[in-house]
Amino acid sequence: MSTLDRSDVARLAALARIDMTDADLDRLSGQLDVILDAVAKVAEVAGEDVPATSHPIPMANVHREDVVRPSLAQEAALSGAPDAQDGRFRVPQILGEEA
Amino acid sequence: MTTMTYEQAMEEFDPVFGIEVHVELNTKTKMFCGCANEFGAEPNTQVCPVCLGLPGAMPVTNEKAVESAIRLGLSLGCSIRESSRFARKNYFYPDLSKDYQISQYDEPTCYEGALDVVLDDGTVVTVGIERAHIEEDAGKNTHVGGSGGIQGADYSLVDYNRGGVPLVEIVTKPITGMGDRTAEVARAYVATIRDIVRALGISDGRMEQGSVRADVNLSLRPKAVAGESQDDIPFGKRSETKNVNSLRAVERAVRYEAARQAVLLLNGEPVIQETRHWHEDTSSTTPGRSKEEAEDYRYFPEPDLLPVEPSREWVEELRATLPEHPAKMRARLREEWGFSDLEMRDAVAADALVLIADTVAAGAAPQAARKWWMGELSRVANDREVELGSLPVTPAAVAELQGLVDSGRINDKLARQVLEGVLAGEGSPAEVVAARGLEVVSDDSALEAAVDEALASQPEVLDKIRDGKVQAAGAIVGAVMKATKGQADAGRVREIILQRAGVEG
């Protein structure tokens, strides 16, 4: 049985940069537990002979040739940006970390 | 105790280190989209919905990049996984358009290798390779305001042209037992990786442009005392120094970190496990974010990409394309060029081997090529505190310069002036010769006039020569060279003086 307590949810929320109220945390820790339990049931069914599956469709090696295709124009690339300057995306001050 | 040297630190402690090298592949396009992979374009002109991380865009792997990664892995003695897959590494940073980086986690394409690294004195060290995995590069942040660094910046500007460029990250196993040669081994390892990627032709291998980048992990542990095995002593806490982007910096970063950690440990203070930033200007590191709190990347398999399953036949085909290992190439070149051990060792230490080889390939004699790179150019590089390969002169230009000397159009002294012009961006050697009017004057009438003028002020020289003191001609040769600013053909000048004295040379 999996258990996800309130502090786990708070940590995940912080990692995902999602602001949560205390009420959100209480509600979601219960809900996420239900989801994890459901997944755990699948693990019970899968025996040793069933490998973990990341890709359900048995396909591999779908590659692309190394050929240049047109890119967006700078104006188009920046068109959805909240702010831009000198052909670049302008972002707020990055605090606490270094490039 | 507040400071100590690297050598002192190595007397007190046993160093353990590891290196992560990021190699930017020189494919025509990015890892997961068809945007051009080219350095130096206008910002955000090599971007598309995939590398900008726009909703609904789907990545597709670049086959050439997979091929390059496999060839690199094979060159590092790695096994190639029959089925490898991509994973999302989740973190937030403005240079990462999708808020995750596509990388490889538990199933890297290349794993478990070993690479022989040859040190300057010929000692061979085998470095264990943990893995070499494929991933994508991030964009480039420019910080505006404050001092230009991130601290105190008002805002940042992001260019995603580099975002999505294919990278192979090579991770070593912990390297132990190197003692005071640790810094040297670290440098030689990165140099070997760089030489290999160049020989494979899969990357420009230009550290100064960031196409090969190193992170250096280092920790210290107590030295074993009698009756104790060094292997039984656990590793100390390590620091990871990022952005170490030249061979010289790799060596300096190891030396700095070893000395810094040794002082902490001797003072009874803990070494904090953290990322540190390398500063080229001060040859020192400063702390970045600390590892425990920030590093939770929540890796999970990339659902938008299918596994890479290279057939064994393909892997063997690629193995057959591998170039000579740099150490073998070195031995072969020494043979071909006829260099002494010392000449070869100096050329390797100065990182001049490829430059000399390219100069020879462009037509210069090996010794002449060596002389330029190890002499004049090494001096200039030292003065400017840059690496030899970063000087603004190509091997082809050096070969051209030597060609001008060989043909007698310029002499050695003029050649140095020509080189100065080339380094100053005045053009090719021939262009500098023309623009600065530096050709050797071998025109007899001009030389005769200059000789006569010099003789007029020192007429006694002719008598001395006639008395058998031929070396007296030197004074006149010197005067002529001075008058012609070194452009006279000294041999011809001497002949003219002897003719004037009525003596045969």
Domain containing residue A14? 6-45
| Among B27, B34, B150, beta carbon nearest to A98 | B150
Any domain includes B469: yes
* CATH number of the domain enclosing B463: 1.10.10.410
Residue of A nearest to B303 (CA): A55
Asked if A68's CB is within 8 angstroms of B307's CB, the reply is: no
Asked if A61's CB is within 8 angstroms of B153's CB, the reply is: no
- The whole-angstrom separation of Cα B106 and Cα B87 is 8
Same domain, B161 and B70: yes
- Residue where a domain terminates, one of B436, B456, B479: B436
Mean pLDDT for chain B?
A: 91
Q: Identify the band that residue B99 occupies on the pLDDT scale cut at 50, 70 and 90.
A: very high
Mean pLDDT of B277-297: 77
- Residue where a domain terminates, one of B410, B436, B462: B436
Supply B211's token pair. 């196409």
Whether residue B178 has pLDDT greater than 70: yes
Q: Identify the band that residue B486 occupies on the pLDDT scale cut at 50, 70 and 90.
A: confident
Same domain, B182 and B284: yes
Mean pLDDT of B149-172: 90
Any domain includes B321: no
- What's the pLDDT score for residue B505? 52
- Distance of CA A14 to CAs A17, A25, B95, B273, B293, Å? 5, 11, 20, 22, 11
Same domain, B108 and B65: yes
Any domain includes B312: no
Same domain, B342 and B431: yes
Whether residue A70 has pLDDT greater than 50: yes
Q: How far is B24 from chain A (nearest CA, A)?
A: 15
Mean pLDDT of B99-114: 96
The reported pTM is 0.78
| Total number of domains constituting chain A | 1
Any domain includes B494: yes
Any domain includes A93: no
Any domain includes B235: yes
Residue B352 CA, distance from chain mean position: 10
The answer to whether residue B160 neighbours chain A at the CB level (below 8 Å) is: yes
- Residue where a domain terminates, one of B436, B471, B490: B436
Any domain includes B254: yes
Asked if B94's CB is within 8 angstroms of A89's CB, the reply is: yes
Same domain, B65 and B195: yes
- The whole-angstrom separation of Cα B420 and Cα B477 is 25
Same domain, B351 and B301: no
Same domain, B409 and B495: no
- The whole-angstrom separation of Cα B150 and Cα B156 is 8
Same domain, B455 and B476: yes
Whether residue A97 has pLDDT greater than 80: no
ipTM: 0.89
Judged on CB neighbours under 10 Å (0-12, 13-18, 19+), B505 is exposed
Any domain includes A34: yes
| Among B83, B150, B159, beta carbon nearest to A88 | B159
Asked if A66's CB is within 8 angstroms of B27's CB, the reply is: yes
B 16-45 residues inside an 8 A Cβ radius of A: 27-29, 33-36, 42-45
B 48-87 residues inside an 8 A Cβ radius of A: 48-49, 52, 54, 60-66, 83, 85
Look at residue B485 and give its three-state secondary structure: coil
Mean pLDDT of B50-72: 97
Any domain includes A14: yes
Same domain, B343 and B274: no
Same domain, B354 and B245: no
| Total number of domains constituting chain B | 3
Judged on CB neighbours under 10 Å (0-12, 13-18, 19+), A7 is exposed
Per-residue pLDDT reduced to its tens digit, A75-91: 999 999 999 999 999 99
Per-residue pLDDT reduced to its tens digit, A19-59: 999 999 988 888 888 888 888 888 888 888 887 788 888 89
Asked if B48's CB is within 8 angstroms of A63's CB, the reply is: no
Domain containing residue B346? 326-436
Same domain, B234 and B285: yes
Any domain includes A54: no
Mean pLDDT of B410-423: 90
- The whole-angstrom separation of Cα B330 and Cα B203 is 20
Any domain includes B483: yes
Same domain, B187 and B216: yes
Supply B111's token pair. 């794993």
Any domain includes B56: yes
